[in-house]
A and B are shown apart, each in its own frame.
Chain A
Amino acid sequence: MTCRETTSGNAKYGRAIHNERPRKQAMNAIEIRDLVKDYGSFRAVKAISFEVREGEVFGLIGPNGAGKTTTLRIIATLLRVTSGTVTVLGKDLRTEPQEVRKILSYLPEDAGAYKNLTGTEYLEFIANFFATGAKAEAIVKKGVDIAALADRIDDKVDTYSKGMTRRLLVARALMTDPKLAILDELTSGLDVINAQEIRRMVKDISTRGMTVLLSSHNMLEVELMCDRIALIDDGRIVELGTPEELKAKYGASNIEEVFTRAVKA
């Protein structure tokens, strides 16, 4: 597990500032500077700035409508930037979106899979965008292992339960060994045991270099998994730090309390 760091944690209502990790000279996986996103006249994201370091599990939390999903979608190359800059492992989203897509994997909260394909066919469909021949087969094999759906992997997705579909989608997101995984509500629809297993798997992969940007309403999951957390509210980053720092700052026993107090403040 990545060591927790000490940050200044004084990012309230403005640009988030934090220190480099002392233990290694990792480059930033994500660098966001003054990011603004407008939907017509509505400003959903208001000049936010933060960095996510390589190999880090970074949590982006906030109340509904705070701008979390918009931020995730921008980093995932789905939405255009209104102003500001976003780079993923040194690649600018505006100028190199296709390059960024090669190294990231995005798991939306309510994602689905093609219902007329079997689980294996779905994984093959995705793998073929990343590799061909034996390499693609290896990716699919890895996906099948992660999904752990046994024989049901060869059944049509249409017959899967919500939890099975989620496992397939998690497998799809992780099997390509992305350098950046953007996971929105990672364990949505999974029971406790499956959720634990998936969390453990993601955490394990992150120790091998994969950066994870995680968004969740499950504060326990955030606290368990994240090295650092940014709290976004009304389109602005209002807190950023390690779980311990944030708990200490608010005198809270868990992140849920931090969340409640920070948002109500």
Chain B
Amino acid sequence: MSSLTNIVKKEFKELLTKSTIIPVILMALLFGYMGTMIGDIEEEVMAKPLVGVVDLDDGIMSDMACHVFNTSAVLVYNGTDVDAGLSEVKEGGGVALIVLPANFSSNILDGSRGYVDVYWIMEGAGMLDSVSSASVDALLRSMSHEIASYLVSETGVADPALVFTPVERLDTTIFKDKEMEGISPDFIISVLSAQSFTVPFIIMMITIMAGGMVISSMGLEKENKTLETLLTLPVSRRSIVSGKLVASALVGLVMAGIYMIGFNYYMTSLEMSAEMDLSQYGLDLGPVDYLLVGVSVFVSLLAALSMCMVLGTYAKNYKSAQTLTMPITLLVIIPMFITMFKDFSTLPTALQVLLFAIPFSHPMMAMRELMFDNYVMVLGGIAYVTVFALVMIAVTVWIFNTDRLLTGSTKGIGLAKLFGKRK
């Protein structure tokens, strides 16, 4: 074997370890999933939208509109009863119910603007949840185009403004049992987009920062050979674990806070001027809601840190500690991307299970869920994450009571000895 081959072989052995390969594989799977999701969205864009139509006009213009709808959409309801139409559209998985009012044709033919009522059935408030409503938007534009063409060919351009926009729509959005008049799903999503992006990002930063602190702390204790001394001092293992958790949480929060300030400036510079107060639609958070968000963030951070403590026990030194942050990073990036782009309720069941199981998802989703009064989801998440955190802390204390920290093995330690013959 040549010297070069010898060195290459040694480098491969050092570099290609489980801890370096597994995160890359997981990242590849994540990108694979995202690719599939984007592919699904493309299909969604290309597919005809499912809509319901209530034609109360039965005139020439409404016939024209219905022709466009029949050609470019799949009608899950076609009748004259708004309530029945809404019910059918909801059951049929439709996007919107388009209501052509009684005076639709006469208004346009009299030189006035026609109006359609659009009842949007909104499924989710994620960035990608607006795709389905975009297809209905396109449908309504086609309708306007047809009517405009008719007006130009039959009546000439008496009023250019009317020709350019012969029909206006009156939006009503129905989302999670809330009926919000005057706004479209696109508008809600665009107003919530800053929150959709910022909250998961902040949670990710806090988790990675504080988690990295804990793992590094364990790695440094081992690298600097201070752990043995610490473990022989008259202090309980529980106190050592708690001390590391509290200090890391505080330092992590401070560091995340600094990042947040910078990030906030960045986001502010990108914000659109069209702000709207969603509180008039009941889409705001009260003091109890903010308290629940705080609790959700706290228990999630606790879960992250205790999980990092368990991982930290595997750290041999500072360098290996850096590698061990990868699992946490992945576990926090996955829900961050998912919650940014899709609403929990619009995800496939398998992904919903995955998202719920990852403890860091819950604070990312909490604000939006509370905005739509989904307390069951938030409280259930808090309960789950609390149990998760307590189990992780118990596992950490147990590891601290075994030989693992010094020998890297818990062999021969019976579960009966769990939680503390040693304090």
Interface of A with B (CB < 8 Å)? 38-40, 73, 76-80, 82, 94-95, 97-98, 101-102, 104-106, 108, 110-115, 126, 129-130, 169, 172
The answer, yes or no, to whether B422 is at the interface (CB within 8 Å) is yes
Dominant secondary structure at the B interface: loop
Evaluate contact between B406 and A79: CB separation under 8 angstroms. yes
CB closest chain-A residue, reference B233: A129
Evaluate contact between A130 and B234: CB separation under 8 angstroms. yes
Evaluate contact between B225 and A108: CB separation under 8 angstroms. yes
For B224, B229, B411, which residue has the most chain A Cβ atoms within 10 angstroms?
B229
Inter-chain contacts of B232 with A (CB < 8 A):
76-78, 101, 104-106
For B406, B409, B413, B422, which residue has the most chain A Cβ atoms within 10 angstroms?
B422
A85 vs B411: C-alpha distance in the bound complex, in angstroms?
20
A79 vs B225: C-alpha distance in the bound complex, in angstroms?
16
Q: Count B-side interface residues using an 8 Å CB cutoff.
A: 22
The answer, yes or no, to whether B231 is at the interface (CB within 8 Å) is yes
Evaluate contact between B225 and A110: CB separation under 8 angstroms. yes
Inter-chain contacts of A130 with B (CB < 8 A):
234
Q: Contacts A73-B406, A106-B232, A111-B226 known; A98 to B412 CB distance under 8 Å?
A: no
Cross-interface CB contact of B234 among A38, A102, A172, cutoff 8 Å: A102
Q: Contacts A77-B422, A129-B234 known; A39 to B226 CB distance under 8 Å?
A: no
Evaluate contact between A97 and B224: CB separation under 8 angstroms. no
Inter-chain contacts of A106 with B (CB < 8 A):
228-229, 232
Shortest C-beta distance, B408 to chain A (Å), equals 10
Q: Contacts A39-B411, A129-B235 known; A113 to B228 CB distance under 8 Å?
A: no
Cross-interface CB contact of B407 among A79, A95, A102, A129, cutoff 8 Å: A79
Inter-chain contacts of A129 with B (CB < 8 A):
233-235
Evaluate contact between B412 and A38: CB separation under 8 angstroms. yes
Inter-chain contacts of A97 with B (CB < 8 A):
422-423
Q: Contacts A73-B406, A82-B412, A95-B421 known; A112 to B235 CB distance under 8 Å?
A: no
Inter-chain contacts of B224 with A (CB < 8 A):
112-115
Cross-interface CB contact of A78 among B225, B231, B236, cutoff 8 Å: B231
Inter-chain contacts of B229 with A (CB < 8 A):
106, 108, 111, 169, 172
The answer, yes or no, to whether B300 is at the interface (CB within 8 Å) is no
Inter-chain contacts of B233 with A (CB < 8 A):
101, 126, 129
For B232, B407, B412, which residue has the most chain A Cβ atoms within 10 angstroms?
B232
Evaluate contact between B225 and A112: CB separation under 8 angstroms. yes
Encode B297-308 as 1/0 by CB contact (under 8 A) with A. Answer: 000000000000
Having A79-B407, A112-B225, one finds 17 other A-B pairs with CB under 8 Å, namely A38-B412, A39-B407, A39-B409, A40-B409, A40-B411, A79-B403, A79-B406, A94-B421, A97-B422, A97-B423, A98-B236, A101-B232, A101-B235, A106-B232, A108-B228, A115-B224, A130-B234
A230 vs B176: C-alpha distance in the bound complex, in angstroms?
77
A169 vs B225: C-alpha distance in the bound complex, in angstroms?
12
CB closest chain-A residue, reference B411: A40
The answer, yes or no, to whether B402 is at the interface (CB within 8 Å) is yes
Cross-interface CB contact of B402 among A80, A105, A113, cutoff 8 Å: A80
Evaluate contact between B226 and A78: CB separation under 8 angstroms. no
Inter-chain contacts of B236 with A (CB < 8 A):
98
Inter-chain contacts of B402 with A (CB < 8 A):
80
Inter-chain contacts of B422 with A (CB < 8 A):
77, 97-98
Inter-chain contacts of A82 with B (CB < 8 A):
412
Q: Contacts A38-B412, A39-B411, A98-B422 known; A80 to B403 CB distance under 8 Å?
A: yes
Shortest C-beta distance, A47 to chain B (Å), equals 16
Inter-chain contacts of B406 with A (CB < 8 A):
73, 78-79
CB closest chain-A residue, reference B401: A80
CB-based closest 8 A-B pairs: A112-B225, A112-B224, A40-B411, A101-B234, A106-B232, A102-B234, A97-B422, A129-B233
Inter-chain contacts of B407 with A (CB < 8 A):
39, 79
For B225, B228, B412, which residue has the most chain A Cβ atoms within 10 angstroms?
B228
Inter-chain contacts of A40 with B (CB < 8 A):
409, 411-412
A114 vs B412: C-alpha distance in the bound complex, in angstroms?
32
CB closest chain-B residue, reference A114: B226
A129 vs B240: C-alpha distance in the bound complex, in angstroms?
12
Inter-chain contacts of B412 with A (CB < 8 A):
38-40, 82
A264 vs B232: C-alpha distance in the bound complex, in angstroms?
35
A105 vs B234: C-alpha distance in the bound complex, in angstroms?
10
Encode B226-258 as 1/0 by CB contact (under 8 A) with A. Answer: 101101111110000000000000000000000
Shortest C-beta distance, A163 to chain B (Å), equals 16
A82 vs B412: C-alpha distance in the bound complex, in angstroms?
8
| 24 A/B residue pairs, CB under 8 Å, sorted by A | A39-B407, A39-B412, A40-B409, A77-B231, A77-B232, A78-B403, A78-B406, A79-B403, A80-B402, A80-B403, A95-B421, A97-B422, A98-B423, A101-B235, A102-B234, A106-B229, A108-B225, A108-B228, A108-B229, A112-B225, A112-B226, A113-B226, A126-B233, A172-B229
A60 vs B364: C-alpha distance in the bound complex, in angstroms?
57
Inter-chain contacts of A110 with B (CB < 8 A):
225
Cross-interface CB contact of B228 among A78, A80, A94, A126, cutoff 8 Å: A78
A38 vs B403: C-alpha distance in the bound complex, in angstroms?
11
A98 vs B406: C-alpha distance in the bound complex, in angstroms?
18
CB closest chain-A residue, reference B413: A80
CB closest chain-B residue, reference A157: B224
Shortest C-beta distance, B405 to chain A (Å), equals 8
Inter-chain contacts of B235 with A (CB < 8 A):
101, 129
A112 vs B422: C-alpha distance in the bound complex, in angstroms?
25
CB closest chain-A residue, reference B407: A39
Inter-chain contacts of A126 with B (CB < 8 A):
233
CB closest chain-A residue, reference B412: A38
Inter-chain contacts of B228 with A (CB < 8 A):
73, 76, 78, 106, 108, 111
Shortest C-beta distance, A211 to chain B (Å), equals 15
CB closest chain-B residue, reference A75: B232
Shortest C-beta distance, B210 to chain A (Å), equals 19
A38 vs B414: C-alpha distance in the bound complex, in angstroms?
13
